[in-house]
Structure 1
Amino acid sequence: MDLTILYRGPLASCDYDCPYCPFAKRRDTPEQLRADRAALERFTGWATAPDRRGDRLSVLFTPWGEGLVRSWYRRALVELSHQPHIARVAIQTNLSCRTDWLAEADPDTVALWCTYHPGQTPYERFLAKVRDLADRGVRHSVGIVGLPGNLEHARRLRADLPGHVYLWVNAAEGHTCTDEEAAQWTALDPLFPYSRHPHRSAGLPCRTGESVISVDGEGTVRRCHFVRSELGNLYDGSYRAALAPRPCPLAVCDCHIGYVHLETLPLYDVFAGGVLERVPASP
């Protein structure tokens, strides 16, 4: 079985306080953190079990909060990166953590999807960490939210990032982007037009639910993070019988981790080899 898994456990705390994020500066209780750690360790145990070795797995961690400031997420990425049946293990991160732990990971398998949040961290500190990733040969993308006030920050990033590093721009939720603004963002990220407007998805074929699934901390399997109907449970294997081609039941899909899997878009070719970490085949 060739399967991509989007894992999101109960972690909901973040060390940043971005004004547009509901998880800004949220703190999980010690009990919640222990529950998140136990859930992640259970998932890692499943992914590394001997009976998984006949499968080919790719894993993207998409925590509501910031995972890499927690030792168990760093440990999970290192462990999973060394499994021969795991093609890719990646995580979405604000890169506020240190990066030296990556020396223990397999750089051919581990990858980071990094977001720069102006005002939350000194620019030079963020840039130094990105350069460290490049020096270590760790696959990564770097991005920013396309708010008008972020344009100059994005231009500075593009000028300072290594040439091979893809700079992505997410259209800002709730902000209507004018054609002029869109042209400015597209000059920095040629793929920005895919993010600018939600994609009509109702009734269209999507890889989620067939070769891509979403898994929560309880092991509940859904086709993606945005469709709540359940396909079964990861740990009892009941999800396997439900894997099948199926059209999207939603009217639109407006998040990259969702619409990248739409079969009507060419993004599997655009991001060939880098779908999870958002690294284009030819940035």
Structure 2
Amino acid sequence: MDLTLLYRGPLASCDYDCPYCPFAKRRDTGDQLRADRAALERFTAWAAAPTDDRLSILFTPWGEGLVRSWYRRALVELSHLPHVRRVAIQTNLSCRTDWLADADPGTVALWCTYHPGQTPYDRFLAKCRELSARGVRFSVGVVGLPEHLAAARALRADLPDHVYLWINAAEGRTYTDPEADTWTGIDPLFPYSRHPHASAGLPCRTGESVVSVDGEGTVRRCHFVPAPLGNLYDGSYRSALGPRGCPLTTCDCHIGYVHLETLPLYDVFAGGVLERVPAPRAADAAPTVTWLPPPTTAAR
């Protein structure tokens, strides 16, 4: 079967301290880093074992993974396995890029976020140009805050045309139509991010062909639904896989709603769902998104 795994281990340390980030930042202790490394190496060993499944893997650490050697090594090793269709990671791109020379560029990919004020613009842009020169698949994005608008416009002008620049709606922010139009002028797919998507009872690929895995191997349908389906390492999750409606009222994170079957995003991002790279020409036109107002308390 085709199985997508969203892996998030215990790593929580980051070299950035963005004020708008909803994730708690801390400096991991040596013991915590060793625990994260052991958990990742266990997961990598599981993914590397012979299997009839075709795996797609996205690492979504709370902190920054690529400044740690074990994440870079995992991406390189997994990229060369014949049963791994894609291996990708969310990153602030603060790490060096030379390690990618050892990875299979047909399998590895990066989901990169630029955080103005945390790193010089020219340094980040140079890293993006290095990725392009290496033939690595990647997307670049910015959080849609007013103070980021100039940087987003500069990135769109300076990045190669084939590199998709996405804009994430800021946490808890309501956008007026003129504001949304401005961001849509940079990212034609911004309407998908602008509002939470109604999801209660709607069919979603999570829990069937997409699952979330934590450092202990606990499998859940996605990062936002706490109920466990079983454990990855004893195989107990397999019997729980199957079609099911979403138990939450809304979904407002791209790594969640991209899997909703009521949205056309598997077609929009065909071949690049994990790294957020649209199919050719898919990002050229703004979509018409039917939005339902969320309840007073939106499920995260």
TM superposition score category, shorter chain reference: over 0.9
SS of equivalent to 2:200: coil
Letter in 1 for 2:184: T
Q: Does 1:33 align with 2:36?
A: no
- For residue 166 of structure 1, the aligned residue among 164, 167, 176 is 164
- 2:251 — aligned with what? 253
Letter in 1 for 2:10: P
- 2:143 — aligned with what? 145
Residue 55 of structure 1 and its aligned partner are, at CA, apart by 1.1
SS of equivalent to 1:6: strand
Any unmatched runs of 5+ in structure 2?
Answer: 284-300
Q: Distance in 2 between matches of 1:175 and 1:191?
A: 17
Residue 23 of structure 1 and its aligned partner are, at CA, apart by 4.5
- 2:94 — aligned with what? 96
* Conservation of the 8 A alpha-carbon contact between 1:16 and 1:24: no
- 1:202 — aligned with what? 200
Q: Does 1:80 align with 2:78?
A: yes
Residue 21 of structure 1 and its aligned partner are, at CA, apart by 2.1
Letter in 1 for 2:41: E
Residue 42 of structure 1 and its aligned partner are, at CA, apart by 0.1
* Conservation of the 8 A alpha-carbon contact between 1:221 and 1:234: yes
* Conservation of the 8 A alpha-carbon contact between 2:12 and 2:25: no
Q: Distance in 2 between matches of 1:219 and 1:213?
A: 11
TM-score normalised according to structure 1 size:
0.98
Q: Distance in 1 between matches of 2:203 and 2:129?
A: 39
Letter in 2 for 1:159: A
SS of equivalent to 1:60: strand
SS of equivalent to 1:87: strand
Any unmatched runs of 5+ in structure 1?
Answer: none
* Conservation of the 8 A alpha-carbon contact between 2:258 and 2:266: yes
* Conservation of the 8 A alpha-carbon contact between 1:215 and 1:221: yes
Q: Distance in 1 between matches of 2:85 and 2:208?
A: 18
Alignment of 1:1-283 (within 5 A): 1-23=1-23, 26-50=26-50, 52=51, 54-282=52-280, 283=283
* Conservation of the 8 A alpha-carbon contact between 2:6 and 2:211: yes
Deviations 1:159-186 (A, max 9, x none): 0000000000000012111111100000
Letter in 2 for 1:32: Q
SS of equivalent to 1:278: coil
Q: Distance in 1 between matches of 2:85 and 2:202?
A: 27
Aligned residues between the structures: 281
Q: Stretches of 4+ moved more than 4 A in 1?
A: 22-25
Deviations 1:235-282 (A, max 9, x none): 000000000000000000000000000000000000000000000002
* Conservation of the 8 A alpha-carbon contact between 1:18 and 1:24: no
RMSD over aligned Cα, in angstroms?
Answer: 0.8
Q: Distance in 2 between matches of 1:63 and 1:228?
A: 17
Q: Distance in 1 between matches of 2:25 and 2:122?
A: 22
Deviations 1:13-59 (A, max 9, x none): 10001012254652100000000000000000000012x2x110000
Deviations 1:180-216 (A, max 9, x none): 1100000000000000000000000000000000000
The alignment-based identity, stated in percent, is: 84
SS of equivalent to 2:275: coil
Q: Distance in 1 between matches of 2:260 and 2:173?
A: 24
